[in-house]
Amino acid sequence: MDPGSLLGMISMNTQFYRDYILDHYKHPRHYGKLDDAVVVEGTNPSCGDELRFYVKRTGDHLDRIQFEGRGCAISQASSSILLEQLEGKTIADLSAWTESQVLEAFGGQISEGRLKCALLALRSLQQGLR
């Protein structure tokens, strides 16, 4: 493969992930309050991110999860992306999720300075639902 083709593929992949993150930020999935739900909160003081998760569950089963929040595009998109993956799963599934899996969903496009933003949803839910 010639170097120009490889650079084009990398650039196209980077643009895909930017568009993917922006889509989840502008049109978050599972957004909004749920009544009669367990509430889990998470904050990232360094960036000002605030998240509130509403979880309805039956035993170990995550029946429905929604969130509300404010903050940077990364924290909001990460919440949306994660909840797409978790609804209908179990607490054990949530516990098994790794930081690497969250970063994979972003295509490795997260800088070290934005890592806390990207991982806020996962860390908050894992700690809050133990």
Q: List 66's β-bridge partners, or say none.
A: 54
**pLDDT score for 13:** 62
The side-by-side arrangement of strands in the sheet containing 61-70 is 38-44, 49-58, 61-70
Residue 87: strand, helix, or coil:
coil
Q: Residue 61: pLDDT band by 50, 70, 90 thresholds?
A: very high
pLDDT digits 0-9 by tens, 90-127: 999 999 999 988 888 877 667 788 889 999 999 999 99
Instruction: Please state, in angstroms and rounded to a whole number, the distance separating the CA atoms of residues 103 and 118.
Output: 7
Specify the length of the chain in residues. Answer: 130
Instruction: Please state, in angstroms and rounded to a whole number, the distance separating the CA atoms of residues 44 and 48.
Output: 6
Q: Is the pLDDT of residue 86 over 80?
A: yes
**pLDDT score for 16:** 72
**pLDDT score for 4:** 40
pLDDT digits 0-9 by tens, 2-42: 434 333 333 446 777 788 888 999 999 999 999 999 999 99
Question: Can you give the pTM of this predicted structure?
Answer: 0.84
Query: What integer is the mean pLDDT of 63-77?
Result: 94
Instruction: Please state, in angstroms and rounded to a whole number, the distance separating the CA atoms of residues 10 and 31.
Output: 31
